[in-house]
Amino acid sequence: MYLRALSQALHASGNATSARDLESVAETLTYFDEMTVGEWANFLRQAWEYHRTGSIPAAKTYSRATSRRLALADLEHEIEELQRYQARVADPNFDRAHLETYLEALGKRVNREDLIALAARMGLPRYKTKKDALEALKRYFFEQRASLERSQLIRGT
C-alpha cells in the first residue's frame, strides 16, 4: 500500500518511469502476501544466496505454534483463499510454485483439525492426519491443472 502511494506521488511529480517501476514492485510483492515476516526474511536470504552462488541453501523454518484453532473468520479467509487458487488454476499463467508455497505455509499455520476441515470444505474426504489433508489439497489443485492442460492439448489450444 505504501509503495503504491509513493508511486502515485512520483507520477504526480513527473517521474513516470520510477513510478511505473515502483508500481511493478508493489504488484510483484502481492505474490508473497501469505508469508509471515520470518518466512519472507528466509525467502530473501535464499534468493540472495542463489543470486550470489547459483545454489539454494537449506531452508530455515519459522513455525508458529499450531495448537490453537483458527478463529471462524480466519478459517473463512483461508477457504476464500483456497477458492481463489481454485479459480486461478485455469489461468494460463498459473504459478504452481506460488501455490506450493501457500499450501506449505498453510500447513504450518493451521492445526490438524482446521486443515482437515479446510480440505473437507473444498469437497475432499475427511482425512485423519494433517499430512494426508495437505497432500490431498495439493493433489486436488495439481490434478485440476493437469486435467485442464490435457484437455487443451486435445483441443490443440
Residues 42 and 17 in one domain: no
Structural contact between residues 102 and 94, judged by C-beta atoms closer than 8 angstroms:
no
8 has a pLDDT exceeding 50: yes
Residues 79 and 108 in one domain: yes
Residues 86 and 139 in one domain: yes
DSSP 63-99: PPP--SPPPHHHHHHHHHHHHHHHHHTTSTT--HHHH
Mean local confidence (pLDDT), 11-25? 84
| C-alpha triplet 72, 89, 44: angle, nearest 5° | 75
Q: Residue 115: which domain range? A: 67-157
Q: What is the pLDDT of residues 61-114, one digit of tens each?
A: 545 444 466 677 788 888 898 888 888 887 878 788 888 898 999 999 888 898
Rounded Cα–Cα distance for residues 128 and 4 (Å):
44
Rounded Cα–Cα distance for residues 128 and 113 (Å):
9
Residues 74 and 132 in one domain: yes
Q: What is the pLDDT of residues 21-57, one digit of tens each?
A: 878 877 777 777 777 777 777 778 888 877 788 877 6
Q: Is the dihedral of CA 9, 25, 20, 14 positive or negative?
A: positive
Quick one: CA torsion of 121, 125, 129, 134, rounded to 10 degrees? -60
Structural contact between residues 91 and 133, judged by C-beta atoms closer than 8 angstroms:
no
Structural domain count, the chain: 3
Structural contact between residues 107 and 134, judged by C-beta atoms closer than 8 angstroms:
yes
Residues 79 and 153 in one domain: yes
Rounded Cα–Cα distance for residues 134 and 115 (Å):
7
Residues 1 and 44 in one domain: no
Closest CA to 92 of 19, 12, 148: 148
